[in-house]
Amino acid sequence: MKKVSTIGLDLAKNVFQAHGADASGAVIFRKKLRRAQVLEFFATQPACTVAMEACGGSHFWGREIGNYGHRVRLIPPAYVKPFVKRQKNDAADAEAICEAAQRPTMRFVAVKSEAAQGAAVVFRTRDMLVRQRTQIQRFTWSSCRVRLDCRSRPGTRRQAYYGCAGSQAASLGSGAPHPLRLG
């Protein structure tokens, strides 16, 4: 029996697909694994290269599989896509991951530690909050600007569009409601 040198692992919610190949690229096995069986399976395999598509979950699985002595390689999904030979399914993806990992010029992503992943989550959360704050500020300013345009330019097309033409524009003088107040 030939020795497995590379295992391509396609991650999913419940059923993972493993594709094993020797150093020449010949198929040794194709196996479906339930989530609970993954670590048991890799504990029984001899030390080899295990390749996965890089995603949030792959860092966790990379750390866990690496504890069994395997060399874990994460590949960006864009680099795996050209190696899919037929319709897209989990088995074809696992085979493509395995084939891509055997390429000598392939670029890999480092497996992140738990601390690095936690720091990335904090950074992305802060970035999202800053973007949302900017969106709210811009929305508020644009809403105020529409009301101000209606007040300052009577008879314009914009004024008619926003429903403050004619006598309404004249009445929008100093007694106009505050632009941020409802009602």
| Residues in CB range of 101: below 8 A, 6 or more apart | 6, 8, 49, 51, 73, 75
Rounded distance between C-alpha atoms, residue 113 and residue 60, angstroms: 8
pTM above 0.85, yes or no: no
Task: List pLDDT tens digits, range 98-150.
Answer: 999 999 999 999 999 999 999 999 999 999 999 999 999 888 888 776 665 55
Residue 109 is classified by DSSP as: B
Rounded distance between C-alpha atoms, residue 146 and residue 55, angstroms: 44
Task: List pLDDT tens digits, range 18-29.
Answer: 999 999 889 999
Rounded distance between C-alpha atoms, residue 151 and residue 134, angstroms: 26
User: Does the pLDDT value for residue 160 go beyond 80?
Assistant: no
Instruction: Using DSSP, state whether 128 is helix, strand or coil.
Output: helix
Task: List pLDDT tens digits, range 37-94.
Answer: 999 999 999 999 999 999 989 999 999 999 999 999 999 999 998 888 888 888 899 9
pLDDT of residue 142: 81
Contact 100, 92 (CB under 8 A): no
Rounded distance between C-alpha atoms, residue 133 and residue 127, angstroms: 10
Contact 28, 4 (CB under 8 A): yes
Rounded distance between C-alpha atoms, residue 7 and residue 4, angstroms: 7
- Go through the chain and tell me how many residues it has: 183
| Residues in CB range of 34: below 8 A, 6 or more apart | 14, 15, 16
